[in-house]
A and B are shown apart, each in its own frame.
Chain A
Amino acid sequence: AQKITQTQPGMFVQEKEAVTLDCTYDTSDPSYGLFWYKQPSSGEMIFLIYQGSYDQQNATEGRYSLNFQKARKSANLVISASQLGDSAMYFCAMREGSSSGGGADGLTFGKGTHLIIQP
């Protein structure tokens, strides 16, 4: 079974609009961390935002916020006021066994969503 599911292979969004990228996850571990990474066409993986399973509030980092719905096992990324430079692949990932997110097993990634921002 897929541990991370990203159901949107590709999305087209108009510049300045908000966009939501979907991510659902599957784990029986009560301690886990959820991550979003951006991968532009140049190939580097850029960390965007993190949510721990015990965090009470949704994570925010500038224009990025994570809509964490624990009961639904959902961790959608919201990008406000999209910009042309946001065009990239976006990956949701999970690390099990550590709600602090650090120094444990490797990340399990989804297949990604290709986001294209149109002017």
Chain B
Amino acid sequence: GAGVSQTPSNKVTEKGKYVELRCDPISGHTALYWYRQSLGQGPEFLIYFQGTGAADDSGLPNDRFFAVRPEGSVSTLKIQRTERGDSAVYLCASELTGSYNEQFFGPGTRLTVL
């Protein structure tokens, strides 16, 4: 059974560029989460989708960050005009709503903004 997958695994970009990070959740999982983990810190919540809609986007740091999940499965996190402070590992997790309690995390995308 496939777990949560994220692509690319690594992304290096220059300051000011636009990047897209992709998350492919476990099939059938209706809830999808994005987190950001900076070096030496715990993951920080960014946004949560229930189906196609963003149920909670309160963790997005500013309007340069945007995420979509148009068909209720794959999600894309989009970052415009990247800044060096955006460098981090971006983690995606999925969950079967109403299930016991486990969020299944992907391996993450390491974003480096030069």
Binding site for B on A (CB under 8 A): 4, 33, 35, 37, 43-47, 50, 52, 91, 93, 100-103, 105-112
Contacts and interface: CB of A to CB of B under 8 A. Distances in A.
A102 B101 contact: yes
A102 B97 contact: yes
30 contacts: A43-B107, A44-B105, A44-B107, A45-B43, A45-B91, A45-B93, A45-B105, A47-B104, A50-B100, A50-B101, A50-B102, A52-B101, A91-B43, A93-B42, A101-B100, A101-B101, A102-B95, A102-B96, A102-B97, A102-B100, A102-B101, A103-B50, A103-B98, A103-B99, A106-B33, A106-B47, A107-B43, A107-B45, A111-B42, A112-B42
Contacts, number: 70
Contacts of B95: 102-103
Contacts of B101: 33, 35, 50, 52, 100-102
Interface string B51-83: 000001001000000000000000000000000
Contacts of A44: 105, 107-108
Contacts of B44: 109
Contacts of B89: 43
A47 B103 contact: yes
